[in-house]
Amino acid sequence: MKYVQDIAAATKEIFSTMIMLEVSAGESFSRTNSKLEDSVSGIVGLAGDIKGMLAIHLPKKTALAVTTAFLGMDVEDVDEDVCDAIGELANMLGGSLKAAIDPGGSKVQLSMPSAIHGQEYTIDCLADAELITVPFTFDNHTFMVELQISQS
């Protein structure tokens, strides 16, 4: 599947250099609008010749652990700091993957990052989008990075 290696490499590099966490990639799959439960998701939209989104989905405990490592301060509940950190993480991943998706740098634009969280939610993008989801693990935590794209 196209971009799986790019997702894995970008995620490993960002977690290693920016958050000081070593993550391992699992086998990619196509997540089909399944519900996310007690989670936080950071999202960056893609526009231009390739449309879609990049999202990182973290269970609440994982989001708190990542934010604690990222900000260097203990966080105990999902708050504005957690949402900002996970949104910025999505932004960094989006920027890294943009280089693989759009090597020339002029055909795809990224939106401002956003973050959502809740007890139960779904994220839909484009009906005809190609879905690529890569699961990751570190220290008994799991999360997913998802790319949904549709080429014009």
* Domain segments of the chain as ranges: 4-25+36-151
Beta bridge partners of 45: 53
Q: 42 near 55, Cβ under 8 Å? A: yes
Pick the more confident residue, 152 or 89. Answer: 89
- Rounded mean pLDDT, 15-44: 92
Q: What is the pLDDT of residue 151?
A: 75
Predicted pLDDT of residue 152: 63
The DSSP 8-state label assigned to residue 111 in this structure reads P
pLDDT of residue 1: 60
**CATH H superfamily, domain 4-25+36-151:** CheC-like (3.40.1550.10)
pLDDT at 52 over 70: yes
**Residues 82 and 69 sit within 8 Å (Cβ to Cβ):** no
Kindly tell me the sign of the dihedral angle through the C-alpha atoms of 107, 112, 113, 118: negative
Q: Which residues contact 47 (CB under 8 A, 6 or more apart)?
A: 108, 109, 110, 111
Q: Determine the Cα–Cα distance for residues 113 and 42; give it in Å rounded to an integer.
A: 7
Averaged pLDDT of the chain: 93
Q: Which residues of 112-131 are buried (b: 16+ CB within 10 A; e: fewer)?
A: ebbbbbeeeeebebeeebeb
